[in-house]
Amino acid sequence: MKIKHLLALCLTFLVISNVNSQVVNTPKPPSINANSYILMDFNSETLLAEYDINKRVDPASITKMMTAYVVFSELKSGNLSESDLVTVSEKAWRTGGSKMFIEVNKKITVSDLLKGMIIQSGNDACVALAEHIAGTEETFADLMNQHAQKLGMVNSNFKNSTGLPAEEHHITALDAAKLAKAIIVSFPKYFETFSEKEFTFNEITQHNRNTLLWRDPSVDGFKTGHTEAAGYCLVSTAKRNGMRLISIVMGTESQKARADESQKLFNYGFRFYETNLVYKAAEKRVNLEVWKGDDEDVDLGLADDLFITIPRGQYKNLQAKVDMPNYVTAPIKRGQAVGTLNIMLDNKTVASNPLVALKNVESGGWWTRTTDSMGLWFKSFGDDDE
């Protein structure tokens, strides 16, 4: 009979356990004066504070993050270049609200328009980019919605590139957090633009409206927004000692309030929580017995890096438990889920991830399949003590 690897499994996954340590209670999040808000860890996507995160709200200039995402996608795919020249239309020039002050029929680089949109929050820059990429702003809005759906932003809908009020133009705090993470992950080079404090164009210098960039050195993005309907909104992100958090406050009462409420969230998250990389993706964690295959076992691990966000000082209290069969039968495909890894803290599950095969195991030859079939037949009678 084949040798099982359950002992190796236990030793591999329970190494982070210390059941004798005491779990310390974490205080509740601070009271936040906003219509909806969220504080999310970037790596684990754990929500540390939240209120009405699926409420559809007017996004105002938070919309420009989605506009930027589409432009970044076009740049990454090669359909667009930062040095491309965009001819400013009369519609773009006439667009109301905040401006970067471009002029009709002038040719402006994509790079300058991006900075004007992100740093100066220029609505005119948004329209110019939208028309250059899609022909019309309406068609560009369709692109925005297509990308939003791919990102899982199921409660968001965009009617324009600027965030100016429009019927059925909305977002949620949770969707804004998803978008923020997607920009950081997919476009790290362009994400840096969100941290720039000022931009000068046409001899006019304007400052980034995200006051946290001056107040907190750990803050390195994102975007502000304000209309009468939306109130004062702020999506922001900060990184301290390797831990990145994303904060969204929607519908606060002033510029100062959106910064203050966001700072409260950051201070709470960084003070009372920590994020750890518990296991890396594609690393062998355990072997599982394989029957009827061209190999006798298969290496198992995680498809993605596993980050855990927990109260500070509690890493030593984590316990790993595995739910998996005693064996599997071939064929096994790489990436196939064959078990579950559960991370526990204080007898509560804080993460649950599939254990997947790290290689293919094809069906064995006739002799292997025949003998293993006989072995499995005997095992069915309960002869499982090895």
Quick check: 201 and 223 in contact, CB under 8 A?
no
Per-residue pLDDT of the chain (386 residues; tens, 9 = 90+): 344 444 344 434 444 444 444 545 789 999 999 999 999 999 999 999 999 999 999 999 999 999 999 999 999 999 999 999 999 999 999 999 999 999 999 999 999 999 999 999 999 999 999 999 999 999 999 999 999 999 999 999 999 999 999 999 999 999 999 999 999 999 999 999 999 999 999 899 999 999 999 999 999 999 999 999 999 999 999 999 999 999 999 999 999 999 999 999 999 999 999 999 999 999 888 888 888 889 888 999 999 999 999 999 999 999 999 888 988 888 999 999 999 999 999 889 999 999 999 999 888 788 877 886 887 787 777 654 44
DSSP state of 193: G
Q: Catalytic annotation on 44?
A: no
Q: What interhelical angle do 63-77 and 137-150 show, nearest 10?
A: 90
CA distance 228 to 60: 9
Q: Which pair of structure tokens corresponds to residue 315?
A: 């890493």
Q: Is 310 left (phi over 0), alpha (psi -120 to 50) or beta?
A: beta
Q: Catalytic annotation on 197?
A: no
Q: Catalytic annotation on 61?
A: yes
CA distance 45 to 53: 14
In this predicted structure, what is the pLDDT of residue 130? 98
- Burial class of 224 by CB neighbour count within 10 A (0 to 12, 13 to 18, 19+): buried
Question: Which residue is catalytic, options 36, 89, 98, 121?
Answer: 121
CA distance 55 to 155: 8
Task: Write down how long the chain is.
Answer: 386
**Ramachandran angles phi, psi of 333, nearest 5°:** -100, 140
Write down all domains in the chain, each with its CATH number in brackets. Answer: 6-21+278-379 (2.60.410.10), 36-252 (3.40.710.10)
Collect all residues with Cβ–Cβ distance below 8 Å to 71 and sequence separation of at least 6.
Answer: 80, 110, 114, 129, 133
Question: Which residue is catalytic, options 44, 64, 156, 223?
Answer: 64
Q: What are the angstrom distances between the C-alpha of 166 and each of 54, 60, 346?
A: 19, 10, 48
